[in-house]
Amino acid sequence: MTSTATHRTSLAAAAFLVVLQPILGQDASPPDPLPEAAKTEATSTAEALTKLQERHESGDGPFVEMDELNFLIRPGGGGSCASAAGLIVLQAGRALLGRDAYERPHMGVLGAFQDQPTLLNGRVTNNEFVDLLEFYERHLGGGGFSTETLSAPNSPHAQDGNVWTAGQPPPIAVREGQLQVLSYTVTTAEGDVLGRHFVILKAVDGNRLDVLDPAHPKRKTVFVLEDGDNGCGRMYLRLPPEVLAKDSVSAYLKGLVNELNTVFTITVEDAAPPRAPELGDLKRRIDETAEELRAEGKLTDPRAWRKAGAAYGLPGLDLPGELGGSGWSASEVLPVFRHAGRHNLNLRDVVGGAHARALLNSDEKVAQEVVRETACGEAYVAITITEEGFGTDYTSMTTKSKKVDGGYVLSGEKRWNARLREATDVVGITKASSGEVGKLSVFLLERETPGLTVKDFAAHGLTGNSYGGLVLDDVFVPSDRLLGVDGEGKDVFTKHFLYWRLMQVAAAIGCGDRALEQMAERMKERKYRGAPLARMTHLQQQLAQSTTELAMAYSLAKDAAELLDEGKYDEAAPLINGLKAEGVEAALRAADFAMRAHGALGYSTEVDLGDRVRDLMGLRIADGTTDAMRSAVVADVYGSEFWWAAFPRNPQEITD
């Protein structure tokens, strides 16, 4: 069982260390958790940095200190100051844009190391630092960094030719909407070069520079800028006289020579995430992306789609505008799912926020941050409900949640879940902490949370995502990751899946539509005994029947979408559950008919009809099987006694 001390551990920090400890072979204790971030209403760079520094000093921890990272740097690489400084720039940039601090700083640094493994070598170059800032742009929540570098004439880092003029000091200043990072070379009194260090400029008073040092972000640090008096443009950052006069400062530190080598001027640019274009243009962009990713062999890769689609707002299509989305209604987004399904049914996962929409049941900043990252194409959320012993019957769920100090501990095993390998975050549904049968709770989990283990299984269809299960071994989840109210997760589950099932039906209809179009083309082109297949009326009959079935299903889907937009979930339920059954079955019949009518060609990989049949067979099971959905329709329309007639007892009568 996890200890109480571990319960209070920052989830991001713990994940950061658990991932890296096997590589490093070190036993390190993660830092304290990050409490809820206060809204930063900074009006200046100095104010933004001061408020962040005060928060860090009080234990709120928006930064990752160098001491937490230095042990990751390979021998001979110096320290991790560039990586720690880059994170400070990110947090200050968010503050200047009026946004809360990034809630997952440790995971942010880990992501940077994964994106730029060379950072672990230390000795970061100017270009590598600029690349690091470009990586952190994705966590700004909209907007970006524009970085200019200016180096000393004698600096080995001035590879781009941007140097300041000898005899003229570099333009060091704190300006509105800008941040400056100063990099300086550290040399001992004996002439040994230790490396370069990075600090963030807070304020300028004459030649006195107030900076934020990533090595000691809780400490006030001041340098005096001095000219080298040699006419070569060399500038030094000296310790101020009051520091040199202190006996507590060692002779070694007093003897260090800090020579300024580069000034990074970073302009923080605000920009709303791309909003989706009009429907016609959006379909065109989807078609273009499909062709590009097909050529790269990534047509069914959901992460590749989300990254590419972010340029025109696709992953944020149905997410709220205040969280970076476009705020499209169910009625507006329905035809987009249908169009995506025409290319491939796996594209059911690339339109809108998908399972990140479940996070809209939380007002907590950590959930909102994941929604923002989803809208930007960075985050991807999986969901786990089913277990080996149950599917639709959630009253048989065995995965448990236990209330503890500061959060919950989850234990159990989920199975038959998609997206777990690709996901950055997971929505996990468990029994409520009360243990009552039929009472559920819903949690947001980071995929790399300690205690989570992903299992892999093979699936016949819908292979764009992984397929497997999730083991929860006493997983601690902070209270702010509870979605909704403990014990009231059924409402979260029901409303989320009514929306999700409807959109899956739309994608299935699109998949069937395109299969019928291929069939019609084949009937006109393929000759049999000297005449086209189109002359065979039995094929025409089936083509007409499937075309009509899909058109009727889509008409009903539009009615259901309107009910969801009006908040009439109870009225929408029998319609959506019925569509999940009959709409998917109609699409499957259409694709199967098209494949069979193509003969041997239809069974080959020369056409995609076999894939469509296989994927639709998967969807008739996923997210509510056809049989279960039909039973749900009967219960919704004619009364729950029809449902419970199939069971020995009402769930309210069942006890543990």
Judgement on whether residues 238 and 284 belong to the same structural domain of the protein = no
Higher pLDDT, 596 or 160: 596
State the pLDDT confidence band at 232, using cuts at 50, 70 and 90: confident
Judgement on whether residues 454 and 556 belong to the same structural domain of the protein = no
Residue 654 reports pLDDT greater than 60: no
State the pLDDT confidence band at 490, using cuts at 50, 70 and 90: very high
Judgement on whether residues 261 and 293 belong to the same structural domain of the protein = no
What is the per-residue pLDDT for 616?
97
Q: Considering the domain boundaries, does residue 90 fall inside one?
A: yes
Judgement on whether residues 265 and 322 belong to the same structural domain of the protein = no
Q: Is 112 in contact with 90 (CB distance < 8 Å)?
A: no
Q: What's the 3-state SS for 120-134?
A: HHCCCCHHHHHHHHH
Best-predicted range by mean pLDDT (38-42, 159-163, 174-178, 485-489)? 485-489
- Strand-pair category, 407-418 with 425-431: unpaired
Residue 63 reports pLDDT greater than 60: yes
State the pLDDT confidence band at 620, using cuts at 50, 70 and 90: very high
Q: Is 66 in contact with 60 (CB distance < 8 Å)?
A: no
How far is Cα 651 from Cα 605, in angstroms, rounded to an integer?
A: 48
Mean pLDDT of 68-90: 88
Q: Is 333 in contact with 317 (CB distance < 8 Å)?
A: yes
Higher pLDDT, 52 or 29: 52
Judgement on whether residues 497 and 460 belong to the same structural domain of the protein = no
Q: Is 635 in contact with 421 (CB distance < 8 Å)?
A: no
Higher pLDDT, 5 or 443: 443
Q: Please choose, from the candidates 404, 439, 490, the residue with its C-alpha nearest in 3D space to the C-alpha of residue 656.
A: 439
Q: Considering the domain boundaries, does residue 3 fall inside one?
A: no
Task: Provide the CATH number for the domain around residue 550.
Answer: 1.20.140.10
What is the per-residue pLDDT for 26?
36
Q: Considering the domain boundaries, does residue 178 fall inside one?
A: yes
Judgement on whether residues 382 and 430 belong to the same structural domain of the protein = yes
Domain boundary pick from 240, 269, 298: 269
Higher pLDDT, 328 or 155: 328
Residue 46 reports pLDDT greater than 80: yes
How far is Cα 385 from Cα 493, in angstroms, rounded to an integer?
A: 9
- DSSP symbol at 259: E
Judgement on whether residues 250 and 332 belong to the same structural domain of the protein = no
Residue 208 reports pLDDT greater than 90: yes
Tell me the backbone φ, ψ of residue 194, rounded to 5 degrees: -85, -25
Q: Considering the domain boundaries, does residue 612 fall inside one?
A: yes
Mean pLDDT of 382-398: 87
Residue 652 reports pLDDT greater than 60: no
Residue 31 reports pLDDT greater than 50: no
What is the per-residue pLDDT for 165?
82
Residues facing 144 on adjacent strands: 269
Residue type, 52: L
Higher pLDDT, 463 or 25: 463
What is the per-residue pLDDT for 107?
82
Domain boundary pick from 459, 484, 509: 484
Q: Considering the domain boundaries, does residue 19 fall inside one?
A: no
Q: How do residues 441-451 score in pLDDT, each as one tens digit?
A: 999 999 888 99
Residue 37 reports pLDDT greater than 90: no
What is the per-residue pLDDT for 258?
93
Judgement on whether residues 242 and 295 belong to the same structural domain of the protein = no
Judgement on whether residues 476 and 528 belong to the same structural domain of the protein = no
Residue 5 reports pLDDT greater than 50: no
How far is Cα 62 from Cα 31, in angstroms, rounded to an integer?
A: 12
Q: Considering the domain boundaries, does residue 132 fall inside one?
A: yes
Judgement on whether residues 313 and 220 belong to the same structural domain of the protein = no
* Cβ atoms within 10 Å of 311's Cβ, excluding its own: 11
Mean pLDDT of 340-366: 96
Residue 8 reports pLDDT greater than 50: no
Judgement on whether residues 497 and 457 belong to the same structural domain of the protein = no
Higher pLDDT, 30 or 275: 275
169: left (phi over 0), alpha (psi -120 to 50) or beta: beta
Angle at 601 between CA 598 and CA 604, to 5 degrees: 130
Mean pLDDT of 603-618: 95
Residue 29 reports pLDDT greater than 70: no
Lowest pLDDT segment from 19-23, 58-62, 361-365, 415-419: 19-23
Residue type, 54: E
Q: Considering the domain boundaries, does residue 513 fall inside one?
A: yes
Lowest pLDDT segment from 3-17, 533-547, 581-595, 609-623: 3-17
% of the chain exceeding 90 in pLDDT: 62
Q: Is 304 in contact with 289 (CB distance < 8 Å)?
A: no
- DSSP symbol at 257: E
State the pLDDT confidence band at 21, using cuts at 50, 70 and 90: very low
Q: How do residues 99-126 score in pLDDT, each as one tens digit?
A: 888 888 888 888 888 889 999 988 899 9
Residue 217 CA to chain centroid, in angstroms? 28
Mean pLDDT of 368-377: 92
Residue 613 reports pLDDT greater than 50: yes
Task: Provide the CATH number for the domain around residue 446.
Answer: 2.40.110.10
Q: Considering the domain boundaries, does residue 165 fall inside one?
A: yes
Q: Is 471 helix (H, G, I), strand (E, B) or coil?
A: strand
Q: Is 492 in contact with 500 (CB distance < 8 Å)?
A: no
Mean pLDDT of 146-164: 83
Token duo for residue 344: 């491939």
Residue 609 reports pLDDT greater than 80: yes
For the chain, what is the domain count? 3
- Taken as a whole, the chain contains a residue count of 656
What is the per-residue pLDDT for 257?
92
**In degrees to the nearest 10, what's the CA dihedral of 276, 511, 465, 423?**
30
Domain boundary pick from 269, 294, 325: 269
Tell me the backbone φ, ψ of residue 611, rounded to 5 degrees: -65, -40
What is the per-residue pLDDT for 230?
67
What is the per-residue pLDDT for 30?
34
Q: Is 246 helix (H, G, I), strand (E, B) or coil?
A: coil
What is the per-residue pLDDT for 656?
38
Judgement on whether residues 298 and 406 belong to the same structural domain of the protein = yes
Matching residue, tokens 């009727």: 552
Helical residues (DSSP H) of 188-278, grouped into ranges: 241-244, 251-255
Cα→Cα distances 381→358, 455, 524, Å: 9, 17, 43
Mean pLDDT of 407-423: 95
Residue 650 reports pLDDT greater than 80: no
Domain that holds residue 95: 34-269
Higher pLDDT, 10 or 211: 211
Lowest pLDDT segment from 3-17, 61-75, 416-430: 3-17
With 0.75 as the threshold, say if the pTM is over it. no
State the pLDDT confidence band at 648, using cuts at 50, 70 and 90: low
Lowest pLDDT segment from 12-16, 226-230, 536-540, 603-607: 12-16
Task: Provide the CATH number for the domain around residue 154.
Answer: 3.90.70
Task: Output the average pLDDT for the chain.
Answer: 87
Q: Is 116 in contact with 132 (CB distance < 8 Å)?
A: yes
